């Protein structure tokens, strides 16, 4: 398993299992976005590892060229799922986790038999580049022109939304806003 740190995200190649990733978790300090190329991964769900990955302080992006090889339960551990093929709607279970991952509208449509809404469970990538290059480009597009500090604040807000309710999100947004403003003020005074 190799870890490659980019300016705004960390990329993992050759990861065989989430248990293996869990054993290397000390290498993931100060990570805001974790891009895992998982084509070789085992489809596993261990409660300790699942709790760790879903409770992490970073956004998890799972990328596999053919994501249909993985179960819904395995894939739902990740915040973002990337593939070159669509995930079959029949594999998506209409549960509260799906509602959180894909939104109320998609959840209600799926519950009422509208299977086309399941397509937002996986983001399908296409293009001239290799699939790993497409996944990197996707993460870079999401990051845009944001700084590392801005990405950390956005990550904290997203993780608060996943873990808690509205109050937790508002507290994270407020704290992040003030931290960014303080940094901007400090940067301006140093010029």
**Domain limits of the chain?**
2-87+122-144, 146-191
**What's the pLDDT score for residue 4?**
94
**Taking the mean position of all CA atoms in its chain, how far away is CA 185?**
31
What average pLDDT does the structure give for the chain?
A: 83
Work out the average pLDDT over 38-47: 84
Strand arrangement, sheet containing 59-63: 2-5, 10-13, 33-37, 59-63, 80-83, 123-124
- For residue 165, what pLDDT band results from cuts at 50, 70 and 90? confident
Tokens 């700084």, residue located = 147
Work out the average pLDDT over 108-126: 68
**What's the pLDDT score for residue 96?**
57
Give the model confidence (pLDDT) of 75-101 as tens digits: 888 989 999 988 776 555 545 566 666
- How far is residue 167's CA from residue 138's CA, in Å, rounded to a whole number? 30
Provide the percentage of residues in the chain whose pLDDT is more than 90. Answer: 25
Domain 2-87+122-144: give its CATH code: 3.40.50
**What pTM did the predictor assign?**
0.78
Give the model confidence (pLDDT) of 151-160 as tens digits: 888 888 888 8
Continuous segment of H or E residues that includes residue 174: helix 166-190
- Main-chain phi, psi angles of 186, to 5 degrees: -65, -45
Backbone CA torsion sign across 151, 153, 159, 165: negative
């Amino acid at each position: 398993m190799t870890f490659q740190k980019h300016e705004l995200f960390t990329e993992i190649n050759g990861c065989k299992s989430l248990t293996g990733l869990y054993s290397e978790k000390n290498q993931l300090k100060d990570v805001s976005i974790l891009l895992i190329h998982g084509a070789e991964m085992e489809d596993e769900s261990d409660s300790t590892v699942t709790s760790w990955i879903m409770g992490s302080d970073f956004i998890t992006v799972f990328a596999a060229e053919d994501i249909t090889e993985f179960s819904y339960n395995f894939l739902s551990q990740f915040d973002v799922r990337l593939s070159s093929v669509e995930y079959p709607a029949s594999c998506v279970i209409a549960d509260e986790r799906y509602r959180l991952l894909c939104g109320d509208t998609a959840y209600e449509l799926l519950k009422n038999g509208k299977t086309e809404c399941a397509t937002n469970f996986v983001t399908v990538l296409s293009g001239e580049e290799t699939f790993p290059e497409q996944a990197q480009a996707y993460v870079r597009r999401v990051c845009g022109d944001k700084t590392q500090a801005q990405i950390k604040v956005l990550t904290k807000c997203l993780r608060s939304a996943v873990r808690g309710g509205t109050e937790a999100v508002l507290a994270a947004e407020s704290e992040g806003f003030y931290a960014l403003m303080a940094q901007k003020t400090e940067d301006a005074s140093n010029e």
